[in-house]
Chain A
Amino acid sequence: AQSVTQLGSHVSVSEGALVLLRCNYSSSVPPYLFWYVQYPNQGLQLLLKYTSAATLVKGINDFEAEFKKSETSFHLTKPSAHMSDAAEYFCAVSGGGGFKTIFGAGTRLFVKA
């Protein structure tokens, strides 16, 4: 069985500060890992994904995430927060040949001016 835990339902940072959103996963097979972003009143869109190539994955809008197998983590970072980054972020895991993707509960990011 697969599962995803996102640490912190809300994270608040100042504009220009480092963004760190935490995600830990559980999977009995090599996982595929995703970060999605949801802006207000919109659906989810892909930020980045890990598919067993490079462990450091770069996504859109300067976001990146590092796959750490030993820690079963896939934390999302951005060096400098922008007001437009305020949104909800979802970590997700899939794998094992099935169709299902398991989503975390989400972390809402607030960016203060």
Chain B
Amino acid sequence: DVKVTQSSRYLVKRTGEKVFLECVQDMDHENMFWYRQDPGLGLRLIYFSYDVKMKEKGDIPEGYSVSREKKERFSLILESASTNQTSMYLCASSFLTASSYEQYFGPGTRLTVT
């Protein structure tokens, strides 16, 4: 059974803290994605990666960075957390070869910044 796991389901951090969200997939997928999900806005792409050490900005990269040192792991970093980064964060992965391939999602991390 395919699996994408995220390090935490719920996280509470203080303003200004550095926050790491980890995602691991076991499907040997080339592509990995980080989204944030907010009510009424659907999923918005923060960053994606199509290979180890490669990354591309999505639609809302400001305030975030990412790291992909191994194929199966993709980390999202909030350098200095702010209250407007309170959200649900979803990680996903997919095969590289065609955009017809669906994405597989992790369960999400609900981050609250106080």
Contacts and interface: CB of A to CB of B under 8 A. Distances in A.
A100 B58 contact: yes
Nearest to A47: B102
B4 interface: yes
Given A43-B4, A45-B105, A105 B100 contact: no
Interface residues of B, number: 25
Interface string A32-44: 1010100001111
B77 to A, nearest CB: 20
Contacts of B107: 41-43
Main SS class of interface, A: loop
Contacts of B35: 103
A99 B99 contact: yes
Interface in A24-56: 32, 34, 36, 41-46, 49, 51
Given A32-B99, A94-B99, A104-B42, A99 B105 contact: no
A96 interface: yes
Contact of B105 (A32, A41, A43): A43
A103 to B, nearest CB: 4
Interface residues of A, number: 25
Contacts of B92: 43-44
Given A45-B105, A51-B100, A99 B42 contact: no
The 7 closest A-B pairs by CB, nearest first: A43-B105, A94-B99, A105-B42, A103-B43, A51-B100, A44-B105, A46-B102
Interface of A: 9, 32, 34, 36, 41-46, 49, 51, 90, 94-101, 103-106
